[in-house]
Amino acid sequence: EPEVTQTPSHQVTQMGQEVILRCVPISNHLYFYWYRQILGQKVEFLVSFYNNEISEKSEIFDDQFSVERPDGSNFTLKIRSTKLEDSAMYFCASSEIGRVGEQFFGPGTRLTVL
């Protein structure tokens, strides 16, 4: 069964450093998403991406964040200058066209900012 994959599974970084989280969505999906879950809190939407551009973003997704689809398979989330409060589990998801609500999630990357 096709699945969304994410790398790395755990990333530790120093405050102020840049991190790139990587995702490989399901191959025939055209919508891509990033969510995050701070420990013990709810899953929060960050951004959605379709047709090589951001289609929607939340207030959390400020200028420190960016997304990119650098090739035909990867989808990345970059945090330019990490803060302590960026520590969270980051989930990538993808969905088929016409089935936006049926999102397939990856296993997540746990980001720890020290």
Partner 1 sequence: GDSVTQMEGPVTLSEEAFLTINCTYTATGYPSLFWYVQYPGEGLQLLLKATKADDKGSNKGFEATYRKETTSFHLEKGSVQVSDSAVYFCAPNSGGSNYKLTFGKGTLLTVNP
**Residue 106 touching partner 1 (CB under 8 A):** yes
Closest distance to partner 1 from the beta carbon of 50 (Å): 7
Cα-flanking dihedrals φ and ψ of residue 5, to 5°? -115, 150
**Residue 27 touching partner 1 (CB under 8 A):** no
Give one word for 80, left, alpha or beta, with left for phi > 0 and alpha for psi -120 to 50.
alpha
Residue among 75, 104, 111, 113 that touches partner 1 (CB under 8 A): 104
**Residue 102 touching partner 1 (CB under 8 A):** yes
| DSSP three-state, residue 7 | strand
Q: Which stretch binds partner 1 (CB under 8 A): 10-18, 34-42, 70-78, 80-88?
A: 34-42
Are 75 and 25 in contact by the 8 Å Cβ rule? The answer is: yes
